[in-house]
Chains A and B, each alone.
Chain A
């Protein structure tokens, strides 16, 4: 099963990346050698997409982790009402990417959007910013949605990790004279290092593959300025039918992600938090 559904598709993707491949059965698929790969390094949209993907990782991953950890720390104790707040933080995770992407599109719509109404209220006059039509505001909307929807996942992992710290360890540190900051620095963070590694690696892998929210909100526009590696790959494959080129992009992304994950695990394991 593993060979059929994992090994073969990976091999096939790698194989296709060396051809000018057509989806039609029996079509002529000329062998291209490494030319799909060399083309990647000369494609300006790939540079934009790679930069956007990198920026998306750098912005959304630390913020998601910080908010998730903060919320988990606040809601670790089973105080009255904590179950409500735990559910509130986690609920966005179970919503549909497509649906919430549309909801965010409406929130940030230039005409009748809630965000323009809010900004207009504070500005004192009518505002009609076209949030999703400008590169940086569109990126911001995508980041915001991704953080909002993703925080609950890291929250739940951190909550479980914090719950697993023996209470006596924290009490012992407090008695030993540690301030709350030092309790976190010397006891809590080292105790949840495994969870931090896990969340970092998976969030980075997920963020590098950001697709749905960009596809639904900006389609990579305006003028490819919000493309990510995945949306560009999709566009190449299913709009431009350049399957060989898309497969080369996918292979390259897989190699980069594999290297990145390995490096993260090594760094986080070595680091004495």
Chain B
């Protein structure tokens, strides 16, 4: 049992690419920290440096009190679950789970006992004699977990362990991971690009972007007080709508395109520095779940948009709408657009997540009710949240 501590860790590859820049991060003993970010943000590199699979260019990696920079992976007392599970194909499930114990040269009876214990915890005792090729994705994932927990490591590393599973199984295994981590109670770094996984699993979530730590906080704090536009756009699904706005000279309203939205004084109570932006451009962040149907009887002001797409998800309606205020694309939606993952051009449309049962027609001008106190404000140049 030990904590993980990264102090000024930087990774520069031989070709000059800086994957991680000056990272400070502490993971307490027993804590599950989820590191999240888009592809290429350096999160896996961080994990691999802790595992000893990548050299640290500068800075210090500590497990407990011991500096690990020059310690071989096998001497770090870590267990790791890989995205591909990395099960040894020629070995049975029992042999896979017991491999690390065999490497430690533990007595056979001890190995058998611990393999059975781990298999019991994960409910995989019936498959112990099978080979990995005879298992489904979810079963392999459990075996990989078993292989990691059987070692009783001081640190647990997980590299996108659920990303090869289908959506339903992923939800199921997410709960499993949380349960197992709680049971073994060691410092765990869990890397994923899935923000839902991050928010549901992590005691704390560290958001990475281009090798730099953007924010590390409890999931709710990350959602409530994103430090910058990147975090705001990353955390939450669908992502926060980021609109170019202009704060009135008298601070009474913010203009979004042709619409003027009155701002109550409560807005400034939470963020007095916003007063310094009188007469200036700001980015206004509105979460889709803060936009409601005017028929819902909620307080607030209305903003208007033209409905471009309605997705009825049963428990909610996702209404994509355009307005004449320019939307600032988050890095992620830019990526989604480039890779063609989104059906519609998210540069043009904002999203509202409204209660079911309201009639919303395609092409109509629809008024969305919003409480301006729920707005987030960002500096358009630095992209930092305006707080304090």
Give residues in A with beta carbon < 8 Å to B: 166, 168-169, 171-179, 182, 186-187, 190-191, 193, 272
Contact = CB atoms under 8 A, between A and B. Distances in A.
Contacts of A171: 51, 53, 73, 80, 82, 86
A186 B88 CA distance: 9
A176 B51 CA distance: 11
A175 B78 contact: yes
Nearest to B72: A174
A168 B99 contact: no
Given A166-B86, A169-B86, A186-B99, A176 B74 contact: yes
A127 B185 CA distance: 75
A196 to B, nearest CB: 13
A173 B86 CA distance: 9
A186 B100 CA distance: 11
Contacts of A190: 88-90
A46 B292 CA distance: 96
A166 B104 CA distance: 24
B74 A178 contact: yes
A128 to B, nearest CB: 52
Contacts of B88: 169, 172-173, 186-187, 190
Interface string B25-57: 000000000000000000000000001110000
A272 B73 contact: no
Nearest to A169: B86
B196 to A, nearest CB: 25
Contact of B86 (A168, A177, A179, A186): A168
B90 A176 contact: no
A173 B84 contact: no
Nearest to A171: B53
B188 to A, nearest CB: 15
A186 B73 CA distance: 17
A85 B241 CA distance: 55
Contact of A177 (B51, B83, B103): B103
B74 A175 contact: yes
9 contacts: A171-B82, A172-B80, A172-B82, A174-B72, A176-B147, A177-B103, A186-B88, A186-B99, A193-B90
Given A174-B74, A177-B104, 16 more contacts: A166-B84, A168-B82, A169-B88, A171-B51, A171-B86, A173-B99, A175-B53, A175-B73, A176-B99, A176-B103, A176-B151, A177-B100, A178-B99, A178-B103, A179-B74, A186-B88
Interface string B352-384: 000000000000000000000000000000000
Contacts of A174: 53, 72-74
Contacts of B72: 174
A192 to B, nearest CB: 11
A122 B82 CA distance: 56
B79 interface: yes
A266 B80 CA distance: 36
